[in-house]
């Protein structure tokens, strides 16, 4: 199993305030890892360091072969193409259709052949059960449907890692379970999942490694 995330004695700060200290992590291909803890415990901050949104202050952090302490600005977009991100609040472009939202991402990441792009978008929408909604606007979709589109967007560039920050937080329990089922199925292709959640039910239904965030530390919860 390849190690995709390797953190050693990492310290994470925001505006000079230490959020997490002494973070030690090794996460491999196809693993499912849950980030558990109260609001403000550092779960989102850790996720942001993985795609170089938030810098690492001390320690050593490597993601997909990139040294996060030394990564060059021009390499950050390349790293991010290998990581899919699923947000709680969707962050879809409200003035563009589902298809246009996905096309926008492909164009931004270097795709040029419109015929290949169309085929790929159709394939990814089918994967998340949204193939008939390609030309709907976001406001015409339910919360669950919007989150399916967000997952489709995260899958566009066949990411090695998907980061999901409270992906079911705004959904009812039934819809949330459908979305977790969908996310969990993605790991069959070897994709690694990191899921920040308050819902401990998911950790029982869809087993994985559990990391507890408390008192500025990350502790692995033994099964």
* Residues near 19 by beta carbon (within 8 Å), at least 6 away in sequence: 12, 13, 42, 45, 216
Whether the predicted pLDDT of 222 surpasses 80? no
Burial of 70 per CB tally in 10 Å (0-12, 13-18, 19+): exposed
Q: What is the pLDDT of residues 144-178, one digit of tens each?
A: 999 899 999 999 988 999 999 988 888 888 989 99
**Phi, psi of 51, deg, nearest 5:** -110, 25
Supply the pLDDT for residue 1: 67
Per-residue tokens: 208: 């994985």
Q: What is the pLDDT of residues 30-87, one digit of tens each?
A: 999 999 999 889 999 999 999 999 999 899 999 999 999 999 999 998 898 899 988 7
């Amino acid at each position: 199993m390849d190690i995709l995330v390797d953190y050693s004695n990492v310290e994470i700060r925001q505006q000079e305030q230490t959020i997490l200290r002494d973070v030690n992590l090794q996460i491999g291909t196809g693993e499912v890892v849950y980030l558990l803890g109260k609001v403000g415990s550092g779960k989102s901050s850790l996720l942001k360091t993985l795609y170089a949104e938030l810098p690492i202050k001390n320690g050593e952090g490597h993601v997909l072969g990139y040294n996060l302490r030394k990564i060059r600005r021009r390499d950050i977009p390349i790293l991010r193409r290998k990581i899919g991100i699923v947000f709680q609040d969707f962050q879809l472009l409200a003035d563009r259709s589902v298809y246009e939202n996905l096309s926008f991402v492909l164009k931004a990441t270097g795709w040029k052949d419109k015929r290949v792009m169309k085929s790929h978008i159709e394939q990814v929408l089918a994967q998340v059960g949204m193939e008939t909604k390609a030309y709907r606007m976001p406001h015409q979709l339910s919360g669950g449907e919007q989150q399916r589109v967000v997952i489709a967007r995260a899958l566009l560039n066949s990411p090695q890692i998907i980061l999901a920050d409270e992906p079911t937080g705004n959904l009812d329990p039934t819809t949330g379970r459908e979305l977790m089922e969908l996310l969990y199925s993605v790991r069959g292709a070897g994709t690694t999942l990191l899921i920040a959640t308050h819902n401990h039910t998911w950790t029982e239904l869809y087993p994985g490694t559990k990391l507890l965030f408390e008192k500025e530390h990350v502790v692995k919860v033994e099964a």
